[in-house]
Amino acid sequence: MNPSIRILIVEDEPPIVRHIEWCTRSILRRDVQSIHIVHTIPQAIEFLNTREFDLCLLDLNLKGENGFEILSQFTGRPFHTIIISAYTDQAIKAFEVGVLDFVPKPFTEDRLCAAFQRYFDNNSRSKRAVKYLSVRRQNKYQVISVSDIQYFKALGSYIQLFLKNGEMEFADKPLTQLMQILPQRFVRIHRSYIVDIEQIATYGHCGGGTYQVTLTDGTTIPLNRQAHKLLQKYFRP
Amino acid sequence: MGDDTAWADPAYNAQEWDLAYPRAYNQGESGVHWYRAKFNFINKLNPHDNLNLEFHCLYSAYEIYWDGKSIGRNGIIGSSKQEEHPGKIVKFFPIPREASGPGTHTLAIRYSNHHQTRFRNQLLILGYHKQELLTYYQYINKSFLLMGIFLTAVIVSLAMAFSHRRNAIYHLFAAFCILQFLRASITPAVEYFNLNIEWLNLANWILYWMQYIKSIFALAFLLYHVNIDHKYVHLSAFGGIFLIPFLGISNHFFAHEFWLWAALLYFAIIMLIGVIKNRWRSGLLTAGYVLYILPSFCRRIGQPLPELTINITEILFIFSILFLLRQQIKQQRKQTHETELRSQRLEKELLKKSIQPHFIFNTLQSLISWIRENPVKAEELIQALTEEFRIINKIASEKTIPVLDEIELCQIHLDLMQFRLDAEYMLEVDGVDEEMAIPPMIFHTLIENGLTHAYDVGENGTFKITASREKASVKYCIMNDGSLLSSVNDDMIMNLEEGMGFAYIRTRLEEVFPSQWKLKYGQTNGFWEVVIQIDS
């Protein structure tokens, strides 16, 4: 049983709105807790600032505007974004900014269903991973390159990002959601940690049934048992 | 005297026959006259050749006596013009061998000159026959060579004029080349066919005036070539100034030299203006025209150029102009090519506009929704889409289409968009007649803009297109009553322009009505209005 989700649909053409809603309900049935609809990007942003929800179905090009510039404001938040758009040539860039999926218009129910499945499958990894993550600096979203990140640490309602150059940033997306869009080299080694496996120097038992990982710069991070097995498989040729 | 071959030298001739020259030019010389000269032969006669007297004009009718004996005549001498029969232009008189030995000999000429000629190369040569013939034919050959070169120029310029029939400049240049060719060929032709001296007078008269006409054509060509205004004013002024010395009346007003200088300077000034105006080709242009006026200039300052040099400057001038004209043709062709490319690009843009992903895919998505909700409406949507594509296909490659067709397209588009946006849109049209024509998809672009930017989701609206004729222009107003554009300030307008396809509209208008159109937009009485004005 999937948890029930709250959905935001951002689309300006009424017949298409109706169809997306109809398809969504037809696919998710009782898993839908709520569906809200807005017609413009400004309305959507106001909604995100005031309400919580889990999934956004977004058309990038409303009213002829290019929603791309503010897309990272969506993908930085603690919900997943699925783009439903006619501009297929923007798909790659959309993935690089961290959307969960890109559904080209006109879509079939099957295709939309596949996108929803990615949402619900916590273990799904992105075929085209995010390159630029939104981080929060003084209440504004800015974008950093994923290749600068060493590891993530969950801290209650937000996430800390530790960069290779020693700096630290904050993000709002939960680790589970991040895992679904990060490149394959990022591994969830602990309930509260995601690490770039290429940054690992050594790993091992540190006594009392606990394990830890040492990064190339000397930082140590806790490791859980399953992840330890995973690392063993990975590092042994 | 000297060696035989020296006698064939025209330069020698000039010294000996000083007296003869002025006489030939003497006006009003009538009656019958005699001329005598003595020669002292030192050497024995060459056994393989004979001596010859070669006459080029000099007198219109004469009888030759060598050592008292008659050795020939040219024409029939008369004491008045009517009695005289003019002879041939060139005649050779062989001197009998027995009268060519060493010793003193007397030459006597009895002549009358009522059909006087103004022939440039007036010569009397005493020399060996073969040598004289050789020199004579060398001269003829040189003339034909020049004629050949000028004839080539004529053919090339005629070919150019033929392929650019509408352009005056090529015709003028062809005329100039023809005149140049005639000038180079009349005298040799007359000599070659050895006609009567009377023909020479005619030829000289033609040549005289041809010099004048050639200059007129040269100036006309220059005016067109460097694109100076008031061409006829300049041509008349120059023609008048240059005519005075030609008519021989210049001594009544100032002096002969004054008018010739005036004409030369006039030409030079026009040339200078032209060179300054056409900076990009001024190098060759200056060189060419300087060559053209060089002979005249040298004559004015008292240092006339030798004939050969003059011919060379003429040839160089013609070929530099031919080169310049060819450059012009190349450039024109490049421009045409660029225009064609731009046309093709615009057509491609139009087609791309009409099948943009946003349009097609969203329409298809909408269609899917309607199929499920209301199949009847879905079918209507398909019909509207088909119709829109049919019209676009019809107009895509045209530069202009009837305004009525554009309006039909807009109506269909609104019908279609009603399905997409689930709202009602009316189109009101006023003042459009069948003759009005504009580039394709201009109103369509504006209507698209209106639908995208002016109306809220679900808001109904009215579009109006009105056309009016005012004096020499047509004005089109395209308005909508959308609520979103009713409070637009200048900053927003700058941003809007970019996304509104105005670049397409401007390029299209400029292509068909270069510099004859105006476009304005703004708020008027609650309507968002775009006004396009086209001058006819």
* Among the partner residues A19, A64, A87, nearest to B369 by beta-carbon distance: A19
Q: Is the CB of A16 less than 8 angstroms away from the CB of B361?
A: no
Closest CA to B119 of B23, B193, B197: B197
SS3 assignment, position B287: helix
**Residue B135: which residues within 8 A CB-CB, separation 6 or more?**
B8
pLDDT, one tens digit per residue, over B92-141 is 888 888 888 788 888 888 888 887 766 566 677 788 888 888 888 888 88
C-alpha–C-alpha distance, residues B150 and B148, integer Å: 5
C-alpha–C-alpha distance, residues B264 and B304, integer Å: 15
Place of tokens 């225009």: B339
* Contact yes or no for A55/A8 (Cβ under 8 A): yes
* Contact yes or no for B156/B164 (Cβ under 8 A): no
In this prediction, residues A202-230 reach a mean pLDDT of 87
- B129-163 and B307-354 helices, crossing angle to 10°: 20
pTM above 0.90, yes or no: no
The Cα of A115 is separated from the nearest Cα of chain B by a number of Å equal to 17
What integer pLDDT is reported at residue A198 of this predicted model?
92
What integer pLDDT is reported at residue B16 of this predicted model?
36
First CA to last CA distance, chain B: 85
What integer pLDDT is reported at residue A107 of this predicted model?
94
C-alpha–C-alpha distance, residues B154 and B160, integer Å: 10
SS3 assignment, position A166: coil
In this prediction, residues A108-127 reach a mean pLDDT of 91
**Residue B385: which residues within 8 A CB-CB, separation 6 or more?**
B363, B367, B416
In this prediction, residues A162-179 reach a mean pLDDT of 92
Q: Are strands A80-85 and B61-66 parallel, antiparallel or unpaired?
A: unpaired
Q: How far is CA B436 from CA B192, B412, B425, in A?
A: 67, 20, 25
Q: Is the CB of B364 less than 8 angstroms away from the CB of A39?
A: no
Q: Quote the distance between the C-alpha of residue B97 and its chain's center.
A: 60
Q: How far is CA B10 from CA A155, B41, B130, B267, B272, in A?
A: 118, 19, 15, 36, 41
Q: Are strands A32-38 and A200-205 parallel, antiparallel or unpaired?
A: unpaired
Q: Quick one: pLDDT band at residue A188, thresholds 50, 70, 90?
A: very high
Place of tokens 């398809």: A23
C-alpha–C-alpha distance, residues B406 and B440, integer Å: 7
Which residues share a beta bridge with A151?
A162, A195
**Residue B120: which residues within 8 A CB-CB, separation 6 or more?**
B187
B259 contacts chain A (CB < 8 A): no
Measured CB to CB, residues of chain A less than 8 Å from chain B are 12-16, 18-19, 22, 39, 61, 63-65, 86-89, 104-107
Q: Is the CB of B362 less than 8 angstroms away from the CB of A105?
A: yes
C-alpha–C-alpha distance, residues B364 and B158, integer Å: 62
SS3 assignment, position B194: coil
Q: How far is CA B219 from CA A21, B142, B264, in A?
A: 81, 29, 11
What integer pLDDT is reported at residue B9 of this predicted model?
34
Q: Is the CB of A13 less than 8 angstroms away from the CB of B422?
A: yes
Q: How many CB atoms lie within 10 A of CB B452?
A: 21
Chain B, nearest residue to A12 by Cα:
B457
Question: Which chain B residues touch A61 with a CB distance below 8 Å?
Answer: 358
Q: How many CB atoms lie within 10 A of CB B47?
A: 7
Amino acid at B384: A
SS3 assignment, position A146: helix
**Residue B323: which residues within 8 A CB-CB, separation 6 or more?**
B284
C-alpha–C-alpha distance, residues B246 and A198, integer Å: 100
* Among the partner residues B364, B420, B452, nearest to A63 by beta-carbon distance: B452
Q: Is the CB of B420 less than 8 angstroms away from the CB of A13?
A: yes
Q: Is the CB of A105 less than 8 angstroms away from the CB of B422?
A: no
| Surface-to-core class of residue B474, CB atoms within 10 Å of its CB (0-12 exposed, 13-18 middle, 19+ buried) | buried
Question: Which chain B residues touch A39 with a CB distance below 8 Å?
Answer: 457
Q: Quick one: pLDDT band at residue A138, thresholds 50, 70, 90?
A: confident
* Contact yes or no for B140/B193 (Cβ under 8 A): no
Which of B360, B363, B368, B446 has the most A C-beta neighbours within 10 Å, making it the best mutation to test the interface with A?
Answer: B368
Question: Which chain A residues touch B362 with a CB distance below 8 Å?
Answer: 13, 16, 86, 105
Establish, for the pair of chains A and B, how many residue pairs have beta carbons separated by less than 8 Å.
Answer: 60
DSSP state letters, B80-122 = STTT-B--BSEEEEEPPGGG-SSEEEEEEEEEE-TT----S--
In this prediction, residues A56-83 reach a mean pLDDT of 84
Which residues share a beta bridge with A162?
A151, A168
Q: Which two tokens stand for residue A113?
A: 């269903």
Q: Is the CB of A107 less than 8 angstroms away from the CB of B365?
A: yes
Q: How many CB atoms lie within 10 A of CB B460?
A: 12
C-alpha–C-alpha distance, residues B471 and B485, integer Å: 32
What integer pLDDT is reported at residue B379 of this predicted model?
95
Amino acid at B285: L
| Ramachandran angles phi, psi of A220, nearest 5° | -115, 140
Question: Which chain A residues touch B368 with a CB distance below 8 Å?
Answer: 19, 106
Question: Which chain A residues touch B367 with a CB distance below 8 Å?
Answer: 106
* Contact yes or no for B24/B57 (Cβ under 8 A): yes
What integer pLDDT is reported at residue B120 of this predicted model?
60
* Contact yes or no for A94/A71 (Cβ under 8 A): yes
Residue ranges of chain B whose pLDDT lies below 70: 1-29, 117-122, 250-254, 279-282, 486-500
**Residue B247: which residues within 8 A CB-CB, separation 6 or more?**
none
DSSP state letters, B292-353 = HHHHHHHHHTT-PPPHHHHHHHHHHHHHHHHHHHHHHHHHHHHHHHHHHHHHHHHHHHHHHH
**In percent, how much of chain A has pLDDT > 70?**
97
